[in-house]
Amino acid sequence: MIIFSKKALAAALLASTLLFSAQGGAAVKKEAKEAKDDPSKEVIMRIDSKPFTREELNTAVSGLFPLMSFHSSVTPERMDEIKKSAVSSLINEEVITSDAKSHKATRVEDKEVNAQIDILKKGLQKGQTLEKVLKNSNMTMAQLREHFRDRLIMMHYRQKIGDDLKKKADETVTDAYMKDYYQRNLDKFKEPEQIRLRTILVKADPSGGTKVWNESLKKATDLAKRARAGEDFGKLAEKYSQDPYAKKGGDMGWTHVGSLYEEIDSAAGTMKTVEISNPVMTIYGYHIIKLEGRKPAVQKKFEELNKEKLKKELSAKESQRLWDEWLAGLRRSSKIEYVANDIKELMAAAPAAKK
């Protein structure tokens, strides 16, 4: 679910102008002739009898890319996913607009339409005029205004529904709701096992070859022997370690198991408290680690949770669920027909992302 700011609303309206089609309810025969003369005019789908052209789809696809030179860098598989998202977005916008109109849910003032036309004028390239754009697009000013009015109706309605569903979600996620969620998802509320390590790093240049790495290993092995023999690990780290923890005597503090380099995590997993490891190789060189302490995983109590944060997370999930359910209902009640064979095949595959 997307909530539009005023700035985003204006930007979306400006971009959508390029999607406007003046065909309306043109006859199939006329559509076929137009498509023969200009392939971009081919009708690829109909939503409740309203036709959508390949030009509209291509413009929607282009709008999903941050750069205009996308064709050379996107795989065919990725392009298919983007096309599905674009088709889905066109459908969603149309069914939302239809629902808004049928319920007479929102009213758009003339000044709002005028403001969007002003934005369009300011965005024109040098030498272009709105009159030229309208002529090239085969539309009248009245059609343009109606297009903008529909877009504003859709976006205002979308915002209204989003706000209503968010309020409903907030009311749904009570303390009892959160407690039930907690009981059904105990693993999500576990404090992972923690370990506290000291480390000494003897660096090795990855491009230095066998000789460099062997020298680093020899030095690390010697430091490990000295530490096991009773020399202060912290002082050895301060003097010889080549990582940021050297200033702290190699103390890495408490960290969750699984958050360190895999090789270090693996070595620490088999160690006992105060034990000192053999040199452990990573991409940086050889590490000697000392296990200072270990804290087992702890199940957090419900009373210990950050309720405000949890409520926000669960409300967002519930709001999204309600939005998806509402939008799916609109789509089910609409007649969506894929006309072009490639679009039929595309949409018969995995479902596109919802918007």
The Cβ of residue 63 has, within 10 Å, a number of other Cβ atoms equal to 14
Contact 54, 39 (CB under 8 A): yes
DSSP 267-293: HHHTPPTT-BPPPEEETTEEEEEEEEE
Q: What string of pLDDT tens digits covers the 355 residues of the chain?
A: 434 344 444 444 444 554 444 444 444 555 555 656 678 889 999 999 999 999 889 888 887 765 444 455 678 888 899 899 999 999 999 999 999 999 887 889 999 999 999 988 888 888 888 888 888 877 889 988 998 999 999 999 999 999 999 999 999 999 999 999 999 999 999 988 999 999 999 999 888 789 999 999 999 999 999 999 999 999 999 999 999 999 999 999 999 988 898 999 999 999 999 999 999 999 999 999 999 999 999 999 999 999 999 999 999 999 999 999 999 999 999 999 999 999 999 999 755 545 5
- pTM of the predicted model, to two decimals? 0.67
Going from the N-terminus, what domains does the chain have, and what CATH number goes with each?
Answer: 6-175+312-348 (1.10.4030), 193-296 (3.10.50.40)
Distance of CA 81 to the CA centre of its chain: 14
